[in-house]
Structure 1
Amino acid sequence: MTPPKPSDLPPDAGTNGAGPSRRDLFRKGAGVGITAGLAAGLTGFAGLPAVADDSTGREPPRGREKTMTDVPFEGFDTVRVAIIGLGNRGSGQLPLFFPIPGTRITALCDIRPEQVNRAADLVEAETGQPRPATYSNGEEDYRNLVARDDIDLVYVATPWEWHHPMAKAAMRHGKHVAVELPIATQLDDIWDLVRTSEQTRKHCWLMENCNYGREELRVLLMAKQGLFGDLLHGSGGYIHDLRNPYLFHGAYYPEGWRRQWHTRMNASHYPMHGLAPVGACMDITRGDRFHRLVSVASPALGLALYRKEHMPPDHPSWQDEYISGDRNTCFIETVNGRFLRAEHEVVTPHPYTRANTLVGTRGGWSGDPQRIYLESLGHTDHTWRDFNDDFQQYDHWLWTDIGPGEGGHGGMDYISLWRTIQLMRLGLTPDIDVYDSASWCSVVPLSEQSLKIGSRSVAVPDFTRGHWKKPRPGLSRERPKQHVPARV
């Protein structure tokens, strides 16, 4: 006798109570079945209007915008850098600019005068350069900074709500802008940055340091060499217990700003560290693109539990009402039929991981711990290999030439900044452009939208407006012929 189906399961969930499969999730709300798709000669689900909400995929009208694909930097003898935000991230990144050849820090901004002055003192003492101009007269003083005429690159490292207005203002004043994660949290704002970049002809990109990690770049090159075969699926995200000291104990300034996002959106807030490197391997925006997304979330319990057990009655967190699920998982299907799983969890006890995997027809890679298994390399015994120095012949030239440098997350921070300055000085195209950045960061608002409609699928916009179909070089490019030293 078949057991009755639980009443709380969605109509297309299996009778075993396991919930909908990945395919079921993507087919929710579909007006066209798989039979019609096969009859039309389509590959997988690509092209099917099988989304519950396709409004998220609509493009705004194009006016004066022209694509920024394949647009190089102008070329600079010296790159003049301004930094907005000198908190946990900005103050850590500042000294990494000092040894990079052809770099000058010309302006600094933070809402705390003492922090700005301390940073300006450090620039003078460590570089011998003129003291940078300083801006600390309230939250809007960054607008005076971006209006200066002695800045080529603005680096934004502020709380997330400021990323969009600061990046837009920088481009409107003729500056390229590198933005910490995410470039924006709302879909309209992401589109606004894409269009502003296209209108101003200034680059805007996500400063995704993990794309420059040694293992991530090694895997990228191995994938480009075909060692994984045809890529099928992958995963990545950000699983990091941030409760102490970051969410509750003052390591971020203003205190609690990141915790507040768990009261504003039920979403995958910050999956890009793991998602972006896998997306690069799959040529997202450079031969493939995200097509549709489904998001699921656990209950929101972890922050309230930590507050109950650790925070005094007068702590401001007692005013918070947490709505964002402790764990968020997104399934993203690409136009070419691959899929990615994006994870986000920062409020429960868990060792750090970016939850990376990449799987193809010839084998796969798994991070944390770093392991690999590829038939193309003779692995046939069903045993993982440690992804260690035995594979250093696949290292990216950035790691063999530049190495970890001055450090920062194992060296990826220095390499990402050094590479940014190199690309700008040599007049090359960016490794990560506004379209890559928009696609990866769109997971934030799209995950929220999917959850709002019962974890049904939503369309992912084509931020490139069709230019994704043309393969373009990115992080896998060979070493430029022009030489730029690794450090001063």
Structure 2
Amino acid sequence: MSDTDAAAARRTPSRVPLRLAVVGGRRGRAFGSTLAQLTDLLELTAVCDRAESVLAAWSDAFPQVKPYRDFDDLLADDEVDAVFLATPLKQHAQQAISAMRAGKHVLSEVVASYTLAEAWELVEAVEQTGRTYMLAENYCFMRPNLMVRNLAAAGAFGQLTYLEGAYLHDCRHLMHTADGDLTWRAELRTEVSSIYYPTHSLGPIAQWLRAANGAEDRLETVTGFATGSAVLPAYFSKEFGADHPGALAETWRQGDSGTAVITSTSGAVLSVRVDAVSPRPHNMTHYVAQGTNGAYESARRDGEDPLLWIAGRSPERGEPGQQAERDWDPLWAWAEEFEDPRWREHLAAAEQAGHGGGDYFVLKEFAEAVRDQRPPEIDVYDAVTWSSIIALTVDSIDRGNQPVEIPDFGGR
């Protein structure tokens, strides 16, 4: 084959399914049924986990899958094209870097990186290897979030000026084993005070901001705030006794609830809240958008509709010369015009997947990006920007809640 033919072959999208390995089989099993729906795009080839019981469960469900206990052994397998990282979040960046330098494409669970140094190293690895890297931020692909992004891109909100995202999920039961040992989630809370899990809250609203205001409107500064830690000491004292380390307030350096206030170069303000321990009903998908021409509020609980109001198109009542009484539309009333085409085409399959259908579209988008040799929808630059809020809020809180600059990692 001539050099010209070889170059053309590299540019030609492959129609052969991408051979995928799942790393972190315990969490990764949540994607098993979704992978089974995407066999035209993805071939589940291997799974890697330290626990034999996890590997055995995968083997029962997918007998053809090769089991690995060692990550380096998996990376040496030439029959694996890509890895899906579903490991504890502090491992993601270094595992992704190692995988790309071994020639693998990477789909990484959130977050992408834990420190700023890792963020820059991850960007460098993508740029040097040319491998496809995508952040598996499934909340960006939820049905209402994609509809709102389409509305933003169409100019329905005008210029976006204020956005909120919050992840409110009582995960106290995931902070310990049955014997009371701290899990990796709890250990994170003993290290630093930060917004340690920001991308579910930030990812969708950052995409809306860009869609409405343009790619030049980038996230500029962040200021971090954290409450005290009152919930976990009381919880561990009740569950395991007053002598348990978790019953001591000084064990927990991370507050119960954290908020990051982010400004953008256009003057927009984004409020991002994460609370994974406070006792309350779950509200893991709280979003608000306010623009110069409209507003959006997500549903708070099952059975509610997300709400939309657009000036000149949503209901208004009142006498001439008086201020109109305004009312919300259910978001679904706008579906015929602004439903994302992917949801229109794949609704039945997506509704069977986790995280509001987001898991289905994350895997599909990654496989298609590799196949078509194009940047994925959530590339490394978005991934590290959103993830950098962890390290930056540590800095801000340590400096007495001072604003700190968000690096420009490139892209756009």
* Correspondence for 2:32: 94
Structure 2 distance, partners of 1:93, 1:186, is 27
Structure 1 distance, partners of 2:132, 2:182, is 31
In proportion to residue count, which structure has more helix? 2
* Correspondence for 2:279: 349
* Correspondence for 1:6: none
Please report the TM-score for the alignment, with normalisation by the length of structure 2.
0.87
Structure 2 distance, partners of 1:449, 1:149, is 42
SS in 2 for 1:372: strand
Structure 2 distance, partners of 1:184, 1:91, is 22
Change over 3 Å in CA distance of 1:379–1:351 after alignment to 2: same
1:378 corresponds to which of 314, 321, 329: 314
Report if the CA contact (8 A) 2:237-2:243 is conserved: no
1:148-167 aligned within 5 A: 148-167=77-96
* Correspondence for 2:265: 335
Structure 2 distance, partners of 1:250, 1:107, is 30
SS in 2 for 1:292: strand
Amino acid at match of 2:140: N
* Correspondence for 1:300: 229
Shift of 1:99: 1.5
Shift of 1:314: 7.9
Report if the CA contact (8 A) 1:210-1:412 is conserved: yes
Q: Given the alignment of the two structures, is residue 207 of structure 1 paired with residue 136 of structure 2, yes or no?
A: yes
* Correspondence for 2:116: 187
Gaps of 5+ in 1: 1-71, 125-130, 469-488
Please report the TM-score for the alignment, with normalisation by the length of structure 1.
0.74
2:386 corresponds to which of 430, 435, 440: 440
Change over 3 Å in CA distance of 1:441–1:123 after alignment to 2: same
Report if the CA contact (8 A) 1:307-1:317 is conserved: yes
Change over 3 Å in CA distance of 1:190–1:416 after alignment to 2: same
Shift of 1:148: 1.6
1:455 corresponds to which of 395, 401, 407: 401
Structure 2 distance, partners of 1:415, 1:169, is 25
Report if the CA contact (8 A) 1:76-1:427 is conserved: no
Q: Given the alignment of the two structures, is residue 268 of structure 1 paired with residue 195 of structure 2, yes or no?
A: yes
Structure 2 distance, partners of 1:255, 1:418, is 35
* Correspondence for 2:375: 429
SS in 1 for 2:391: helix
Shift of 1:299: 0.6
For these two proteins, the number of residue pairs brought into alignment is 383
Amino acid at match of 2:176: F
Shift of 1:95: 2.6
2:339 corresponds to which of 395, 415, 423: 395
In proportion to residue count, which structure has more strand? 2
Report if the CA contact (8 A) 2:365-2:376 is conserved: no
1:365 corresponds to which of 279, 296, 314: 296
Amino acid at match of 1:388: W
Report Cα offsets for 1:129-163 as digits up to 9, x if no partner: xx222112xxxx10111122112221001111211
* Correspondence for 2:167: 238
Structure 2 distance, partners of 1:73, 1:318, is 59
Q: Given the alignment of the two structures, is residue 106 of structure 1 paired with residue 65 of structure 2, yes or no?
A: no
Shift of 1:451: 0.4
Shift of 1:97: 0.7
SS in 1 for 2:309: strand
Structure 1 distance, partners of 2:88, 2:238, is 27
* Correspondence for 1:248: 176
Report if the CA contact (8 A) 1:298-1:325 is conserved: yes
Q: Given the alignment of the two structures, is residue 135 of structure 1 paired with residue 68 of structure 2, yes or no?
A: yes
Change over 3 Å in CA distance of 1:172–1:144 after alignment to 2: same
Report if the CA contact (8 A) 2:25-2:49 is conserved: yes
Shift of 1:420: 2.1
Structure 2 distance, partners of 1:404, 1:282, is 29
Report if the CA contact (8 A) 2:258-2:273 is conserved: yes
Shift of 1:86: 1.2
Amino acid at match of 2:174: Y
Report if the CA contact (8 A) 2:19-2:43 is conserved: yes
Shift of 1:114: 1.9
Report Cα offsets for 1:452-478 as digits up to 9, x if no partner: 1000011100000xx43xxxxxxxxxx
Structure 1 distance, partners of 2:138, 2:159, is 26
Gaps of 5+ in 2: 1-10, 301-305, 317-324
Amino acid at match of 1:378: S
Structure 1 distance, partners of 2:365, 2:167, is 24
Amino acid at match of 1:345: D
Structure 1 distance, partners of 2:100, 2:400, is 37
SS in 2 for 1:403: helix
Report if the CA contact (8 A) 1:194-1:434 is conserved: yes
Shift of 1:267: 0.4
Query: What percent identity do the matched residue pairs reach?
Result: 28
Shift of 1:315: 6.1
Structure 2 distance, partners of 1:301, 1:147, is 47
1:402-413 aligned within 5 A: 402-405=346-349, 406-413=352-359
Structure 1 distance, partners of 2:54, 2:182, is 15
Shift of 1:338: 1.5
Shift of 1:231: 1.3
Change over 3 Å in CA distance of 1:156–1:428 after alignment to 2: same
SS in 2 for 1:410: coil
Change over 3 Å in CA distance of 1:231–1:250 after alignment to 2: farther
Q: Given the alignment of the two structures, is residue 277 of structure 1 paired with residue 221 of structure 2, yes or no?
A: no
SS in 2 for 1:232: strand
1:474-485 aligned within 5 A: none
Report if the CA contact (8 A) 2:232-2:246 is conserved: no
SS in 2 for 1:241: coil
1:144 corresponds to which of 62, 73, 79: 73
Structure 1 distance, partners of 2:157, 2:119, is 33
Change over 3 Å in CA distance of 1:329–1:73 after alignment to 2: farther
Structure 2 distance, partners of 1:355, 1:184, is 24
1:84 corresponds to which of 23, 31, 40: 23
